[in-house]
Amino acid sequence: MFKKKLTLKLLIFLILTDFIETFTHLCFKKSALTENEVVITNISEAAVFLQAVFSSPFLWLGLLSVLATFILWSSLLSKIDLSVAVPICSFSYILIPLASIIFLHEKVSLSRWSGVVFILLGVVFVSLSASEKERVLE
């Protein structure tokens, strides 16, 4: 099955899914942080934690952004190959650590950034192979 070429418009929407996915992860993290230093040793403590999480607006924002990602992703996959879309959407590997530093004040180690660089190199190689495939098909 042959899909359309990757256009600038499709690329922008693919990158948008990365930003929405990053927002989703931040929301879920913020909802989990509603109770500081959670130690769950029994059912009643688990119930208190779950009540705090489910009453967090961040959880509901995260779930809404999952729905938005699903709708956008489904639309995009009807237009381009999955093997092209997924590598392009791997930029969340950069966005999530950056957002964690900026919004959650987390520390990201040099070894983790090194891993991100290797992932991005893989994305570049996969993207290059996808463009070679398109040239062969023309």
First-to-last C-alpha distance (Å) of the chain: 15
Higher pLDDT, 2 or 124: 124
How much is the average pLDDT of 32-50? 79
Label residue 87 exposed, middle or buried (CB < 10 Å: 0-12, 13-18, 19+): buried
Q: What CA–CA distances, in Å, run from 28 to 25, 64, 70, 117, 137?
A: 5, 11, 17, 25, 42
Query: Model confidence over 72-94: pLDDT tens digits?
Result: 999 999 998 887 888 888 888 89
Q: What is the pLDDT, as a whole number, of residue 45?
A: 84
* CA–CA gap between residue 135 and residue 138 (Å, rounded): 5
